[in-house]
Amino acid sequence: MRAGTWQEAEVLFLQALEVDPKYGEALISLSDVYYELGLQKQALSYAEKAVDTQPDNAVFWVKYGDAYFSGLEYREALNCYENAKKLGSTSAAKRIMKIRSKIGEESLCPDGRPKTANGCKGGQEQESLDEAIRLTAQGRQALSALRFADAENLFAKALVYDETCAEALEGLSDVRFEQGSYFNAARFAERAIAIAPSNAGYHIKAGDAFFRIMLYDDALKHYNRAEDLGEARASQRIAKIRARQSQPANDELDYLGELKELAR
């Protein structure tokens, strides 16, 4: 479906919500729109609202899980799919198997929590943090060897153990950047920034990703912040953007700008 068609659908669903803010079908349909546009934050927000209106709707739980899965947030996706499975969803069971195969069945407790050296006992916070660090290091090794699929899986597994592991999110940003998926690279970098806002390197990576898709204002925002944080690489990048912005506008960039507006 073309971007314009998605935007037309978005307008219609938003109009429906003006009439009834708790209309579950419109909420989940908006989540679908943003999911298809790769706007995970918005997809999650509307899926959550839809589930709140109809907590016994298995389809809504599956789509809520899919939105988490798209961001490689396996633990949260697994919780959603488990809820859907309890409500009788057969598609949820397949998705659960897919996640468990990615993470490793032996790595999970019955309730979906990751196992540590202490197994499934309580008081394992430090062990989870240590495991996240170990998996992130392995992900870096895989990325250095250009084994992108392995690297992605290792970074995603690290986030199962510690969802605040900014280094794993940085790694996922690097994977997406190397694969040419710059919009997603920027999104992962911004998730890392949300955890560690004073990390100048993360701002540089977010800026580089936005620069590649010619969203110069967003790139400039991150480069300026990196410069404020003392990052020497920022000034040359800022100058390059200023030079680009002085050139005539390109109509082909309108779609990227529209996508960015949706993400705000």
Band of residue 148 on the pLDDT scale cut at 50, 70, 90 = very high
DSSP letter assigned to residue 251: G
Report the range of poorest mean pLDDT among 34-48, 74-88, 173-187, 236-250. Answer: 236-250
Cβ density class 170-206: b for 16+ within 10 Å, e for less: bbbbbbbbeeebbbbbbbbbbbbbeebeebbbbbbbb
What the block records as the tokens of 190 is 């911004």
Band of residue 121 on the pLDDT scale cut at 50, 70, 90 = low
Band of residue 264 on the pLDDT scale cut at 50, 70, 90 = very low
Domains, in order of start, for the chain: 3-107 (1.25.40.10), 163-263 (1.25.40.10)
What pLDDT does residue 40 have? 85
Q: How far apart are CA 204 and CA 199, in angstroms?
A: 9
Q: Which residue has the higher pLDDT, 250 or 209?
A: 209
Q: How far apart are CA 61 and CA 83, in angstroms?
A: 7
Band of residue 6 on the pLDDT scale cut at 50, 70, 90 = confident
Residue position matching structure tokens 């992108």? 148
Cβ–Cβ contacts within 10 Å for residue 28, how many? 24
Q: Which residue has the higher pLDDT, 60 or 126?
A: 60
What pLDDT does residue 2 have? 47
Is-contact 89 97, C-beta < 8 A?
A: no
What pLDDT does residue 249 have? 57
- The phi, psi pair for 13, rounded to 5°, reads -70, -40
Is-contact 205 174, C-beta < 8 A?
A: yes
Residue 109 pLDDT more than 70?
no
Residue type at 160 in one-letter notation: V
Residue position matching structure tokens 């701002």? 203
What pLDDT does residue 255 have? 41
- The pTM is what? 0.71
In order of 6, 8, 43, 197, the CA distances from 18 in angstroms are 19, 16, 18, 35
| pLDDT, averaged across the chain | 85
Is-contact 159 72, C-beta < 8 A?
A: yes
- Within 8 A by CB and 6+ apart from 71, the residues are 40, 44, 187, 191
What pLDDT does residue 75 have? 84
Q: How far apart are CA 206 and CA 32, in angstroms?
A: 25
- Within 8 A by CB and 6+ apart from 236, the residues are none
- Within 8 A by CB and 6+ apart from 54, the residues are 24, 60
What pLDDT does residue 123 have? 52
List, for residues 217-233, the tens digit of each pLDDT value. 999 999 999 999 999 99
What pLDDT does residue 209 have? 95
What pLDDT does residue 263 have? 44
